[in-house]
Amino acid sequence: MMSSSPSAADNKIVIGKAGAPHGIRGELRVIPLTDFPERFEELKQVYVGNQLLDVADVKYHKQFVILRFAQYTNRESVALLTGQLLYVDKKDAMPLEEGEYYTFDIIGLEVFDLEGTSLGFVTEVLKTGSNDVYVTSRKGEAKQLMIPALKAVVKEINIQEGRMVVDMPEEV
């Protein structure tokens, strides 16, 4: 089954990026862009760009996930997908533990201090290795506030209300 979506990014999350073809039978190297690379094993369909494709086979090679799609049977045809993003519906997102959030849920939250003053909106989440950092800015301002994603700093995240409450350490 191959169908199109008006906008593949609407209500979808990115799980990978199509790399170069792998072999001659229509396999494609995929760079996983998910914290759950094992999710590819259960994948039946995936959007590649605007096309909904049927996954025929999944295997792993070095840092890549190798996918073969029912709609692509040779190297030349699958090469046309190189560089496109792979998406799944948000409803198919991997379940998280209590207190864990998806990056796409954090971006756009309005950030408030303990007194209720707005500090701006989360525009980006930096993955630093030790902990994430929420980049926050006010509309029309170039200044950015970096908020460490630590329980001592982030006191509340409410996705439904679109807000985050923080207790920022005093600057030295």
Residues 53-98: pLDDT tens digits? Answer: 999 999 999 999 999 999 999 999 999 999 999 999 888 777 888 8
Rounded CA separation 107/143 (Å):
17
Longest CA pairwise span in the chain (Å):
61
Distances 11 to 38, 45, 75, 148 between C-alpha atoms, Å: 22, 16, 30, 27
Identical fold between 3-92 and 103-166: no
Identity of the amino acid at 21: P
Other Cβ atoms closer than 10 A to 53 = 23
Domains of the chain, by residue range, sit at 3-92, 103-166
The CATH H-level superfamily of 103-166 is: PRC-barrel domain (2.30.30.240)
Count the helix, strand and coil residues of the chain and give each as a percent rounded to the nearest 5: 10, 45, 45
Tokens 């073809």, residue located: 21
Question: Closest Cα partner for 148 from 164, 172, 161, 160?
Answer: 164
Question: Considering only the top CATH level, what class is 3-92?
Answer: mainly beta
Calculated CA dihedral for residues 151, 155, 11, 29, nearest 10 degrees? -10
Q: What's the predicted TM-score (pTM) here?
A: 0.64
Question: Closest Cα partner for 33 from 88, 108, 106?
Answer: 88
Secondary element (H or E) of residue 75 = helix 75-78
For position 5, what pLDDT does the model report? 37
For position 171, what pLDDT does the model report? 61
Which residues in the chain land under pLDDT 70? 1-10, 171-172
